[in-house]
Amino acid sequence: MYNQVYVSNEEDGFRILLGNSMGTLGNAMMPSESKFHQNGSRFTTIDKDQDEFPENCAVRFGGGGWWYKICYKAQLTGQYGTTDWAWPWYPTFTDGTAIKTVKMMLRRKAL
């Protein structure tokens, strides 16, 4: 969980900006290895490559749209039942093959 999440407009590529992480599961979107930080990444889809990797990460990993960088440490849209989907959870929770459903929920802050 992050104390703030901001997604920019289409012209800026739907860039995601995250605040501080909270909770016990970990911070896979901003791991200690800065080259894998997804904070500030643009949203990539199979038909619009906006990541920093030479290939389209959405195509390469078959997960569809996500905030990729080079390509991911966290990817909720990954292929279920494969260890490729393990990064957000491993080793804290599972290798990725036991998770059947995830939800990414945003709450709009009252103005």
Cα–Cα distance measured from residue 53 to residue 67, given in angstroms and rounded to the nearest whole number: 12
Is residue 103's pLDDT more than 60? yes
Of 65, 93, 61, 66, the C-alpha closest to 80 is 61
Is residue 78's pLDDT more than 70? no
Which positions ≥6 away from 99 have C-beta within 8 Å?
80, 85, 89, 93
Is residue 39's pLDDT more than 80? yes
Of 27, 36, 33, 3, the C-alpha closest to 92 is 27
Q: Report the pLDDT value the prediction gives residue 56, as an integer from 0 to 100.
A: 92
The domains found in the chain, sorted by start residue, are 1-111 (3.90.215.10)
Q: Which of 29-33, 43-47, 60-64 has the lowest mean pLDDT?
A: 29-33
Is residue 93's pLDDT more than 60? no
Q: Which token pair is 99?
A: 């998770």
